[in-house]
Structure 1
């Protein structure tokens, strides 16, 4: 069995030259696999370590590490993955969750996953950054509501939100180095949700299915009237996705998710005056694009 975390040689912590970026990720790597592989590659490039230095720290050959970093061949076991993330001083807990999700995506069964995890003895408890924990607790509900509006499935919504916060933990240093961590987190969440959402032929997200779960139509007893109302709402929701991204976000949060206006700025990471203006312009645009609909309803 390969060592999971080989001792570091003297001088490894101060590499003399920046390492060459690894070759591109293989096209065969699945999207969830890329979710954890990209932060690992970014950490390696940013660390300045060469592949040879990573060999010394992890105890694995250049060939094995090169294949892992490219997502080439078979899905990597947890032992070699763990050795690399420990060598790069990345948090283990979020990466293990992402690794498990990607293993399922790669058609690995739960017995295989559990067996690979049992092969590795963790080094002990690691503390989640306090600010990251606070952001997770504050944003979990509105992020999930936004994701569910596009994905329709609560399970899928919770999964993408959990993965978003795990990615954020993996890249927390970069996130806190931005001008606004809340805004950075929101853009990460939005990007992941829209990447998974059904698409219209022109590339817009398809929000029409949300019309089937609105409270308004659910309270209409007459079936014909209910179906008519669903059709009207579906066309109206489709119009929402024609708005500029920030206007769309504010509209979805306010009117589909029922988030109070005062809470929206803190969720999307924009000033209250800006979100008010976005809301105003969005309502005006929707009235022009869909004049027969009641935007307040």
Structure 2
């Protein structure tokens, strides 16, 4: 079993050359939930060596429709065809089904439509257990993933984002294990999922109500003297939302979630020195954009 803390060596997995027209890109209109299962399905197809014509014969679905499906175009696909494709392309069906169902809800498909779409494949969607190393990794990071998500989301959105992250990782587990760093691969999946559900203002993420309730906010003033008394203010959160992604993540983990630098380093999959550098730059940025209290001592006329 691969240790979650030891990045594996990426395997040599070149995409085979196939005849015929190249598959086009995913449509820009495809939402994050739909993209969550479509991207790994496309990846498996591109590495399968199959042509669209060959895949069309195997799943008994028109080649033109397959092309549309793999680009996220046309109507949202029914589960029967996704189930058939998963069998041919070697995708784990349970996490695929969970992601497909979530995307169907976000595509405004009714409960009746979803249930009818699944009728003939109910047995195939029976819950199965993920790989043991996936379970071990989830146990290692889930609580901290939830703390991070809580800074931006609450309620059902919070739980859905965390669950979707681990479904994505399960579906892409071989890719995760073959990446330069499993922890960094997983964090990118979490961050993308959380941000896709986070309200944004002028392109910047808005912190959720839960961020104001965390005790760790009180420690932010210890990072720099000039941050005293403003740790819970809207001004601070607005300034933090303008930071580069990694600096924002480091500040959330360190000062909203209360992780030590070593913990943030392990969770993000980056060196400790990088976390410390990002934190210093983030604090300097906050000091530069948030006006400190005026010191009027000695300035009285």
Same-fold call, TM cutoff 0.5: yes
Segments of structure 2 that go 5 or more residues without pairing to the other structure are: 1-15, 219-228, 294-301
In structure 2, relative to structure 1, the CA distance for the partners of 1:213 and 1:197 (3 Å cut) is: same
Distance 1:158 1:63 in 2: 37
* Cα distance, 1:42 vs structure 2: 1.8
Contact 2:265 2:271 in 1 (8 A): yes
Contact 2:216 2:256 in 1 (8 A): no
Q: Does 1:213 align with 2:243?
A: no
The verdict on how the C-alpha distance between 1:216 and 1:97 changes in structure 2, with shifts beyond 3 A counting, is closer
What SS does structure 1 have at the residue aligned with 2:205?
coil
Superposition misfits of 4+ residues, deviation over 4 angstroms: 123-127, 208-212, 214-218, 229-232
Q: Give secondary structure in 2 for the equivalent of 1:122.
A: helix
Aligned CA distance change for structure 1 residues 249 and 212 (closer, same or farther; 3 Å): closer
Aligned length: 267
Q: Which runs of 5+ in 1 are unaligned?
A: 1-14, 219-228
Assess, with a 3 A threshold, how the Cα gap between structure 1 residues 144 and 216 changes in structure 2: closer, same or farther: closer
The alpha-carbon deviation at position 96 of structure 1 amounts to 0.1
Q: Give the secondary structure class of the aligned counterpart of 2:138.
A: helix
Matched, 1:147 2:146: no
Query: 1:126 Cα deviation (Å)?
Result: 5.2
> What RMSD in Å do the two structures reach over aligned CA positions?
3.0
* C-alpha distance after superposition, 1:155-200 (max 9, x if no partner): 2122122222222222222222221110111122223322332223
Q: Distance in 1 between matches of 2:46 and 2:17?
A: 14
How far residue 136 of structure 1 moved from its aligned partner, in angstroms, is 1.6
1:79-124: per-residue Cα shift (whole Å, max 9, x none)?
Answer: 1110011110111011000111111112222233223222114298
| d(CA) in 2 for partners of 1:177, 1:36 | 19
CA distance in 1, matches of 2:99, 2:247: 31
Residues 124 and 105 from structure 1, CA distance in 2 versus in 1: closer, same or farther, beyond 3 angstroms?
A: closer
Residue aligning to 1:17? 18
2:45 — aligned with what?
44
**Would you say the 8 A contact 1:212–1:230 is kept in 2?**
no
Measured at CA, do residues 281 and 115 of structure 1 come closer, stay the same or move farther in structure 2, by a change above 3 Å? same
Q: For residue 75 of structure 2, what is the aligned residue in structure 1?
A: 74
TM-score (norm 2): 0.77
1:3 corresponds to? none
TM-score by length of 1: 0.78
In the alignment, is residue 265 of structure 1 matched against residue 274 of structure 2?
no
What secondary structure does 1:23 align onto? coil
Of structures 1 and 2, the one with the larger relative CO (CA 8 A, separation 6+) is 2
